[in-house]
Amino acid sequence: MARKVQTQDDEMFKEALVGKKIPILTLDNQWHKLFTQTGDIPEIHRLEEEVNDLLKRQGKINTEIKSLNVYKKSLMKEIVSIMELPDSPAKEKKMSENKQHIEESNEKLDEYKDELLEIPKLIDEANLKLMLATMHVCYDKIRRNVREIEEINKWIADFRVQLKKQILTKQKMEIYNDELYSYMHSIFGAEVIEMFDMKYNPANVLNKDKENTNGGGAQT
């Protein structure tokens, strides 16, 4: 089902992109940097190689055309030179061979030129497939990140609620301790309380709690 939806999306995107110039992605450093962020993806590598193979083929054909044109010029020069020689079977043979080589070169040049006319279209098609695959990968990653961000936000919100509850509980316990100690002091008197303080040392605990509370507030 997801694959079907993706195919429908691709057709919609293709229609929307008609007439728009898409840069050759494999020649774009920003595109390569993009995939250092998304990890290794076999489908992307396959489409990347498809584009690169077509670019290599285009470059090779251009090189072959230049070489054939140079070769043809050398054959033509040779024919001109041969024409000045006296007539002979060797001259006729060489002239015939050179003409045949020129004809073969012309045929090959025509094939190369026809292929060269077709290659840009093939490159655009392969590049478009790579672009669509790139968009799917990036948006899938963004969607996954959004889901995780939402989960983290929920965890933070829940934690804040719990933190507030714990702070309130802590403050109530501190107030209770202060009041309890104050009541004990009023009922039993300072001398009795000091005697028990020597054993239980509650004053240090109370002071420590207050220091922690003050310190925590300062850091916050």
Whether 177 has a pLDDT exceeding 70, the answer reads yes
* Joined tokens for residue 213: 């509370």
Q: Residue 219: is its pLDDT beyond 70?
A: no
pLDDT at 36: 75
- Coil, helix or strand for 127? helix
Local confidence band at 38 (pLDDT 50, 70, 90 cut-offs) = low
N-to-C CA span, the chain: 50
Q: What is the mean pLDDT of residues 165-192?
A: 88
pLDDT tens-digit readout, 93-118: 888 998 999 999 999 999 999 999 99
pTM of the model: 0.67
Is 22 in a helix, a strand, or coil? Answer: coil
pLDDT of residue 145: 94
CB contact at 8 A, 82 and 91: yes
Contact at 8 Å (CB) between 22 and 125? no
Provide DSSP, 136-202.
HHHHHHHHHHHHHHHHHHHHHHHHHHHHHHHHHHHHHHHHHHHHHHHHHHHHHHHHHHHHHHHHH-H
Tens digits of residue pLDDT in 12-31: 666 767 667 888 999 999 99
Residue pair 26/52 in contact by the 8 Å Cβ criterion: yes
pLDDT on residue 3 = 57
Please tell me which residue, 15 or 143, carries the higher pLDDT value. Answer: 143
58 near 123, Cβ under 8 Å?
A: yes
